[in-house]
Amino acid sequence: MRHAISHRLSPQPAGGGKQAGRKAENGAIEQGPARAFSGADLPTDSHNVPFCVLVPQRTMPPRFTHRTKKAGLTFDVGQVEQSFQRVVDNEYITEYALVYTTSVLEAITRAIIERAGNIAHEFNHKRLESFHIQLAIRTDAPLNTLVKETYADEPRHEMLPPALPVPSVPKLSESGGEL
């Protein structure tokens, strides 16, 4: 809820009216001593310094809900849409395709970052570095095939695991049997 700041710092006159004094028994208005501003008139902070009073205001509901918020994602759907528009010219991309693609990108990124964090923890490092991400990708076979030609800057070869074995396919002779 939004609040407006009330700048009414002067105290109200006694009785709440426009007169600053009070009526005496004979009907004359007596002027009393000037009323000093005290901290009891306004709320104060911990150091007894008065601060402005917050008055609640009505707010309008938002005009629309963002696609990212509707889908419960962290990655921005609008940025994925802009990336699509740079790649695909004059093609309509449905909202469902944008949200689905964004969620897949977010899931893959979370998996890589989680694996990289575990690897950094194993090496007793407090920060994620590029080689942690590279190790996370290289040790996962599906991710390794997905981003086969990706290189991180400053590779640390002593930390890289040996290459994953490629399944060997038996060679067939011309007659159709194995060699």
Q: Enumerate domains of the chain plus CATH numbers.
A: 67-146 (1.10.20.10)
Instruction: Name the strand (E) or helix (H) holding 123.
Output: none
In whole angstroms, what is the distance from residue 80 CA to residue 87 CA? Answer: 11
Q: What is the dihedral of CA 52, 54, 59, 62, to 10 degrees?
A: 80
Is the pTM here over 0.75, yes or no? no
pLDDT at res. 80: 92
In whole angstroms, what is the distance from residue 157 CA to residue 27 CA? Answer: 99
pLDDT at res. 169: 60
pLDDT at res. 69: 86
CA 22 to chain centre: 59
CB 19 within 8 A of CB 13: yes
Q: 131 in helix, strand or coil?
A: helix
Instruction: Round the average pLDDT of the chain to a whole number and report it.
Output: 72
Regions of the chain where pLDDT drops below 70? 1-57, 62, 150-179
pLDDT at res. 9: 47
